Amino acid sequence: MTSPIWHPFTQHGLREPIPLVERGEGAFLHTADGRCIVDGISSWWVTTHGHCHPRIMQAIRDQTEKLDQVIFAGWTHEPAETLALGLRAIMPDALTRVFFSDSGSTSVEVALKMALGFWMARGERRHRIVVMEHSYHGDTIGTMSVGERGVFNRAYEPLLFDVIRVPFPEAGREQATYDALEVACDGEAAAFIVEPLVLGAGGMKMYAPQVLAEMRTICARAGVLFIADEVMTGWGRTGSLLACEQAGVVPDILCLSKGLTGGAMPLAVTMASEPIFAAHYSTDRAAMFFHSSSYTANPVACAAAAANLAIWRDEPVRERVTALAAMQQARLEALGARCEIRGARTCGTIAAFECAGDDGYLADIAPRLMAFFREHDVLLRPLGNTVYVMPPYCIDAGTLDRVYDVIAEAIT
C-alpha cells in the first residue's frame, strides 16, 4: 500500500522519491536502503551538535523514566525549572521571563500576543506590527501575516492581518529601511519583529550587525517593542550564541526554538523583559496572559533542552562554531573560483549563493538541484535558485568537502 502521509512543503504530484531514514549520527543520516546521507541543512536548521548527541539522548531516556507529561498551567516540574534558570543564565539579563511553547511558529504567536497584551494593559491603542520585507516567521495564520506574502500564502491571504512593511536593508540602501522604520514606528505600532542578521526562508538574505543596532535604536526611541525572532539564528548559527549579540542588541522579546533542544525534540520559548511580564501581572484574572498549548513545556523536551544548555556550558561549542564558520568561508571562496555563482555570502556557520537562472522560490532549478543532491547522498534544499549550506557543528572538513564537490558538480 502506498503511504497515506501528506508531507509538508511537498508536491506529491511530482512523485519525487521520499527516502526512508532509519538512523542519524553526527552529520549523517542512514536510510533504510543502506545509504549514508550528509545532512547539509541540519535537518531544516534544527540539528546543532549533530544527530543523536549522546548527552541529549541520555537526558531524554532518563526523563522518560520519571515524568512524561503534566499540565503546565498552575503546575511545574524539574526539567522546566532547570531549563528556565539555565536560559536566564546564558541569555541577556534583561530577558527575565521564560514562556514555553512547542514550535518556532507558536513562539512568534506568543511574542505577538505578549506585545499586544502589553499595550492593552497600558491603555494605549497600539496594535500594528511592523515587519521586514522577505521575512519568514512561520506558517500559522498569525506568523504568515507578519511574514512575506507570496505563492506560499496566496490562498490564505484573506485571513491574514495587515502589517506595516519596511524594505530589506540592501547593502548601501540601509537608509531607506531606517526612514521607513521611523515612519512606521509612530502612531499605532505595537512592535517590530525581525530575524536578526539572516532572513532564513526568505533566501538567506544577510545584513550587517550595525543595521540591526540602528533598527533597535529607532524602535527604542519610539517606544515600539522589539521582537527578535532567533528561531533560526539562535544557538550559534550566525557565529555567536544569539545573532543579536553581534550588534550589542537586547530585544524586548526573544523567540527561540529549533536548536533549543539541539534539534532533538520540539520545544520553543519566548523570553520577555520584566515590563512585559509586569503588564500582565495583577490580581485581576482578566489581565493574565491567555495562551497555552497541550504540550507546553513537555518534560522530555525540556530535559533535552537542559542537556543542550549543559553541552553549551561544558563543551567547546563556540570553538566548533568558529572553526565551521572559517571552513564554510574557505569552501565558498573555492567554489566561486571553480564555477559561476552570484552573491556568495556567509554569516557564521551559514553559507549561501545564487546560481544561474530565475530568482524566486519556484525557480525550476530548485527541484532539479535537490534531486541531484539527493542522488549524490547529500541533503540540501535550495530556496529557489539560492543554494545554502548549514550543517551541524560536528561536520568534519572532509565531509564538508564532499558537500561542496557535489554542489560544484551540480552547477557545472
Kindly state the cell numbers that stand for 258: 529549533
Contact 237, 45 (CB under 8 A): yes
Instruction: Please report how close the Cβ of residue 156 comes to ligand PLP at its closest, in angstroms.
Output: 16
Instruction: Please report how close the Cβ of residue 356 comes to ligand PLP at its closest, in angstroms.
Output: 26
Three-state DSSP class for 88? helix
Return all residues near 30 (Cβ < 8 A) that are at least 6 apart: 21, 22, 23, 24, 36, 37
Instruction: Please report how close the Cβ of residue 138 comes to ligand PLP at its closest, in angstroms.
Output: 4
Piece of 194-202, 218-226, 289-297, 380-388 that binds ligand PLP (CB under 6 A):
194-202
Instruction: Please report how close the Cβ of residue 261 comes to ligand PLP at its closest, in angstroms.
Output: 11
**200-239 residues near ligand PLP, rule: CB under 6 A:** 200-201, 229, 231-232
Residues 17-56 as x/- pattern, contact with ligand PLP by CB under 6 A: ----------------------------------------
Residues 52-91 as x/- pattern, contact with ligand PLP by CB under 6 A: ----------------------------------------
Confirm or deny that 312 is annotated as ligand binding: no
Instruction: Please report how close the Cβ of residue 229 comes to ligand PLP at its closest, in angstroms.
Output: 5
Instruction: Please report how close the Cβ of residue 190 comes to ligand PLP at its closest, in angstroms.
Output: 19
Confirm or deny that 293 is annotated as ligand binding: yes
Could you tell me where the beta strands, DSSP code E, fall in 125-188? 128-132, 164-166
Cα-based distances in Å from 128 to 16, 161, 185, 192: 42, 9, 9, 9
Q: Which is nearer to ligand PLP, 230 or 280 (CB)?
A: 230
Confirm or deny that 381 is annotated as ligand binding: yes
Say whether residue 246 binds ligand PLP (CB under 6 A). no
Say whether residue 349 binds ligand PLP (CB under 6 A). no
Confirm or deny that 292 is annotated as ligand binding: yes
- Which among 214, 222, 217 has a CA at the least distance from the CA of 187? 222
Instruction: Please report how close the Cβ of residue 104 comes to ligand PLP at its closest, in angstroms.
Output: 2
CA–CA dist 235, 56 (Å, integer): 15
CA–CA dist 274, 350 (Å, integer): 33
Longest dimension (CA), the chain: 66
Confirm or deny that 136 is annotated as ligand binding: yes
Phi, psi of 352 (to 5 degrees): -145, 155
β 189-194/164-166 pair status:
unpaired
Confirm or deny that 258 is annotated as ligand binding: yes
CA–CA dist 117, 277 (Å, integer): 10
Say whether residue 251 binds ligand PLP (CB under 6 A). no
Confirm or deny that 105 is annotated as ligand binding: yes
Angle (CA) 385-387-389 rounded to 5° is 170
Q: Could you tell me how far CA 245 lies from the centroid of its own chain?
A: 16
- Which among 382, 350, 390, 353 has a CA at the least distance from the CA of 42? 390
Q: Which is nearer to ligand PLP, 87 or 350 (CB)?
A: 350
Q: For binding to ligand PLP (CB under 6 A), which residues are involved?
A: 103-105, 108, 136-138, 195, 200-201, 229, 231-232, 257
> Annotated binding site for pyridoxal 5'-phosphate, which residues?
104-105, 229, 293-294
